[in-house]
Amino acid sequence: MRTYLDCLPCFVRQTLEAARFVTDDEAVHADVLRQVLRAASEMDMSMAPPAMGQHIHRLIRKATGNADPYREVKGQFNRLALDLYPDLVRRVEAADDRLETAVRLAIAGNIIDFGVSATISDEAVGKTIDRALRDPLVGRVDDLRQAAADADTILYLADNAGEIVFDRILIETLDAENLAVGVKSVPVINDATAEDAEAAGLRGRWEIVENGSDAPGTLLETCSEAFRERFMAADLVIAKGQGNYETLSKAPRPVWFILMAKCPVIAGHLGCEVGNLVIRESASTSEPRTHA
Amino acid sequence: MRTYLDCLPCFVRQTLEAARFVTDDEAVHADVLRQVLRAASEMDMSMAPPAMGQHIHRLIRKATGNADPYREVKGQFNRLALDLYPDLVRRVEAADDRLETAVRLAIAGNIIDFGVSATISDEAVGKTIDRALRDPLVGRVDDLRQAAADADTILYLADNAGEIVFDRILIETLDAENLAVGVKSVPVINDATAEDAEAAGLRGRWEIVENGSDAPGTLLETCSEAFRERFMAADLVIAKGQGNYETLSKAPRPVWFILMAKCPVIAGHLGCEVGNLVIRESASTSEPRTHA
């Protein structure tokens, strides 16, 4: 999807929040904010919003000289999510519809958005999980079930650290022979990298594929050629979270999106309400796909 | 007060809201937003925040070719406030402390902020008035009472249309021989002009002084020489609303501020909580004042 005017105030607000999260140096806050304001004033609105996120976090990393400012927080939330893991697995095993429960838990991981605040209470996490298991799901799990059954190869694009442990439960429930997990090559915000996939316990059992990019979401034009080939060749692509929806809603192949709609622009684009739990296949905008 | 980094995302958000309020033309929204982003990227942060408000609304007026885009709304809310006027006067007359009740009602007018939304329910207005009469007041009405008793000349700087009818009640309660009401010379947002002062029923009984400016608040450097002389010469200056606090908190003479703290930056500057009703005399930063 393109960038909307409503995204611009949000970029500026997010920049200040991120800069403050990463450093106490007010000169850095001001410098990064001014650069983002200038970049936003000239932004090509046909780009997906995460293109600006990529720019913002490059500026923050450069200004702070810190290549991975969220590393500690990511580790913390991977561990927190791993503590929850055994109980979540039991919930899936006890469920009437294991896939639907695993999808709901994957969305719970997306709602919690571990990277947004430095701390999160056990109570808040518990409430979010209960809510994700109970609220209506916009979209049809049965269609994903069928698509997964029909697919020989699946590419699962992870979203954030912490959340990736919740994704692991869905990945395990899909129980596909040939599934690869896509992650960022370069740390950006709290997005999952290969290190996080390993921390989440995915390495070994599933192939981890780095996308070659430092953009939040999956900005295909910034990904490696090798990743783009994998993306196009997979029988089924599942993409977690808003960033992946923003960057892949018009991808040149069908993609299954699993997310909570967190902002009015995304909700409007999806045709749902803010806060809805969504599972949705994109319409393909490409020629009929040829299987590899 | 100076501009804080937190003001910058707010400027961008307010620009989009104001542009949309004033026109449906999305090209204008985008054009104004981009210009404000660029201006914000270069802003002199030692300026008071309303300097950017002045710039934003000049851009909007120029882009739309509409010299007073809020005129209709201002008229509407002047009339709405005038409908309330007789009841509000009765409340003051029945009060144990008439001045305190009038100060509280003046703050109620500031809370309602008639210009922010195009419509406002009678119920919401009633609740706000009740709240303003009940909530704790941060500051001492007795000190204002004394300052008013000691003053031969008072300059009362109005804030917005609609609200100016509430100010009229406080002005009438002050019952000073020699009181002038300061208003904007050029329409900006819903700030009160001489036209609004007349609509509120102030002309004739009180002198109306235009400040020579099109900035929200009172940016002295953009006001006329004649206004600045009046401002410095008055025995007592009372300034309504956040914009006047933002622009006059470091004025070269003492000023009494009456407002609700509506944003965290202002509340932090005042040393109070967001939502507090405040009556506060600024510390004078000038040499001892010489009476005219």
* Six token digits for residue A13: 């607000």
For residue B201, give the DSSP letter.
T
Q: What percent of chain A has pLDDT over 90?
A: 90
**Nearest by CB: B12 against A9, A38, A45:** A9
**Nearest by CB: B37 against A13, A16, A37:** A37
Residues of chain B contacting residue A33, judged by C-beta atoms under 8 Å apart: 5, 8
Choice among A61-75, A110-124, B75-89, B271-285 with the minimum mean pLDDT:
A110-124
The whole-number average pLDDT for the span A227-256 is: 97
Indicate the pTM of the whole model: 0.90
pLDDT on residue B286 = 43
Region class of A186: left (phi > 0), else alpha (psi between -120 and 50), else beta: beta
The whole-number average pLDDT for the span A247-254 is: 97
- Chain B closest CA to A19's CA: distance in Å? 11
The whole-number average pLDDT for the span A161-180 is: 97
Residue of B nearest to A36 (CA): B41
Superfamily of domain B89-281, CATH level 4 = Uncharacterised protein PF01937, DUF89, domain 3 (3.40.50.10880)
pLDDT on residue B290 = 39
The whole-number average pLDDT for the span A186-210 is: 96
Distance of alpha carbon B141 from the chain centroid: 19
pLDDT on residue A19 = 94
pLDDT on residue B278 = 97
Asked if CATH classification 3.40.640.10 holds for the domain at A71-281, the reply, yes or no, is no
**Nearest by CB: A9 against B9, B41, B42:** B9
pLDDT at A179 over 90: yes
Can you give the residue ranges of every domain in chain B? 7-64, 89-281
Count Cβ atoms within 10 A of the Cβ of residue B146 and give its class: 0-12 exposed, 13-18 middle, 19 or more buried: exposed
Residues of chain B contacting residue A26, judged by C-beta atoms under 8 Å apart: 5
Residues of chain A contacting residue B6, judged by C-beta atoms under 8 Å apart: 16
ipTM for this prediction: 0.89
Q: How confident is the model at residue A182 (pLDDT cuts 50, 70, 90)?
A: very high
* Whole-angstrom distance, CA of residue B164 vs CA of residue B177: 19
- Chain A closest CA to B64's CA: distance in Å? 18
- Chain A closest CA to B24's CA: distance in Å? 13
Total length of chain A: 292
- Chain A closest CA to B2's CA: distance in Å? 14
- Chain A closest CA to B176's CA: distance in Å? 45
Tell me the pLDDT tens digit for each residue of A86-104.
999 999 999 999 999 999 9
Residue of B98, B219, B111, B209 lying closest to B160 (CA atoms): B111
Residue of B nearest to A5 (CA): B30
pLDDT on residue A116 = 53
The letter for the amino acid at B56 is I
Residue of A245, A21, A242 lying closest to A116 (CA atoms): A21
pLDDT at A291 over 80: no
Mean pLDDT, chain A, as a whole number?
93
**Are A8 and B37 inside 8 Å of each other by CB?**
yes
Tell me the pLDDT tens digit for each residue of B201-258.
999 999 999 999 999 999 999 999 999 999 999 999 999 999 999 999 999 999 999 9
**Are B6 and A16 inside 8 Å of each other by CB?**
yes
Q: How confident is the model at residue A167 (pLDDT cuts 50, 70, 90)?
A: very high
DSSP character string of chain A: ----TTHHHHHHHHHHHHHHHH---HHHHHHHHHHHHHHHHT--TTS-THHHHHHHHHHHHHHHT-S-TTHHHHHHHHHHHHHHHHHHHHHHHH-SSHHHHHHHHHHHHHHH-TTSSS---HHHHHHHHHHHHHS-EES-HHHHHHHHHH-S-EEEE--BTTHHHHHHHHHHHHT-SSEEEEEBSS--TTB-BHHHHHHTT-BTTBEEEE-S--SSS--GGGS-HHHHHHHHH-SEEEEEHHHHHHHHTT-SS--EEEEE--SHHHHHHHTS-TT-EEEEEPPP-SSPPPP-
* Whole-angstrom distance, CA of residue B229 vs CA of residue B197: 21
Q: How confident is the model at residue A286 (pLDDT cuts 50, 70, 90)?
A: very low
- Chain B closest CA to A13's CA: distance in Å? 5
Residue of B nearest to A10 (CA): B9
Choice among A42-56, A103-117, A169-183 with the minimum mean pLDDT:
A103-117
Q: At what angle do helices A50-64 and A241-248 cross, to 10 degrees?
A: 120
pLDDT on residue B113 = 72
pLDDT on residue B119 = 67
**Nearest by CB: A8 against B33, B35, B42:** B33
pLDDT at A257 over 70: yes
Residue of A nearest to B15 (CA): A9
**Are B8 and A5 inside 8 Å of each other by CB?**
no
Residues of chain A contacting residue B5, judged by C-beta atoms under 8 Å apart: 16, 26, 29-30, 33
Residue ranges of chain B with pLDDT lower than 50?
A: 285-292
Segment (H or E) for B236: strand B236-240
pLDDT on residue B289 = 42
